């Protein structure tokens, strides 16, 4: 009986070690729980017991690059106004959507 309990603990240790590796690589917490074959609630509880932090706190924070630019002339502003008008929105919203969709970045105001 003692050997069985010890084997379970060793298995759990290996799973949690693998989980820490996956979290460090940026995998989502739910995906990590599935990959190590533990229910989400148990994974979170066991992980915090072992590492003293929740899996969410363990994951590295990803910094998104920001976009900043200045218009060089009134002509550029006119082009942006015309494009925003055609899109039936204001310039700020137009630029934000343009950046999100085409460059896949966030603007500084969205941080």
In whole angstroms, give the CA distance from residue 59 to residue 6. 28
pLDDT of residue 109: 53
Residue 40 backbone phi and psi in degrees, to 5: -55, -45
41, 58, 75: which is the final residue of a domain? Answer: 58
Among the candidates 15, 33, 58, a domain finishes at 58
Segment 48-77 mean pLDDT: 80
Residues 30 and 77 in one domain: no
pLDDT single digits (tens) 67-84: 677 778 888 888 888 888
Q: Give me the domain span that covers residue 43.
A: 2-58
Do 45 and 81 reside in the same domain of the chain? no
pTM of the model: 0.54
One domain for residues 10 and 51: yes
Residue 107 token pair: 């603007």
Overall number of domains in the chain: 2
Q: Measured between alpha carbons, how far is 28 from 59 in angstroms, rounded to an integer?
A: 8
Q: What is the pLDDT of residues 9-34, one digit of tens each?
A: 999 999 999 999 999 888 889 999 99
Does 70 lie in the same domain as 54? no
């Amino acid at each position: 009986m003692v050997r069985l309990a010890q084997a379970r603990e060793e298995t759990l240790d290996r799973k949690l070690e693998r989980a820490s590796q996956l979290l460090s690589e940026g995998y989502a917490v739910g995906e990590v729980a599935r990959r190590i074959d533990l229910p989400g609630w148990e994974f979170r509880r066991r992980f915090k017991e072992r590492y003293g932090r929740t899996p969410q706190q363990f994951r590295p924070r990803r910094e998104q690059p920001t976009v900043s630019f200045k218009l060089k002339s009134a002509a550029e502003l006119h082009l942006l106004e015309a494009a925003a008008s055609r899109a039936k929105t204001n310039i700020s919203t137009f630029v934000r959507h343009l950046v999100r969709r085409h460059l896949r970045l966030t603007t500084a105001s969205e941080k």
